[in-house]
Amino acid sequence: MILFFYIAGVDVHYDDKLGKLKLTDNGIDRRDRIVIENFFSKKIPLCGVLGGGYNKSFSKLIELHASLHKNCAAFI
């Protein structure tokens, strides 16, 4: 059996003090949906884990991390 771990780091966000990729909220959301849908459509188990994230706003950081769980829940 194959199991993939998806480290859904949010340090790629434009407002992250360490990240340099400058993704928007929608960009991170889209990235997560693409990854999740790809594995779900092929019936391959995926374990999504939180990673990175040094946003200036702690509430924004929570919101960005929660996006992974919201997107996974949409496929259940």
Q: Where are the domains of the chain?
A: 4-73
Using alpha carbons only, give the angle 57, 9, 19 rounded to the nearest 5 degrees: 60
> Residue-wise pLDDT tens for the chain (76 aa)?
889 999 999 999 999 988 889 999 999 999 999 999 999 999 999 999 999 999 989 999 999 999 999 999 998 8
What are 9's strand-pairing partners? 51
pLDDT, residue 42, reads 95
Asked if residues 34 and 69 have their Cβ atoms less than 8 Å apart, the reply is no
pLDDT, residue 53, reads 92
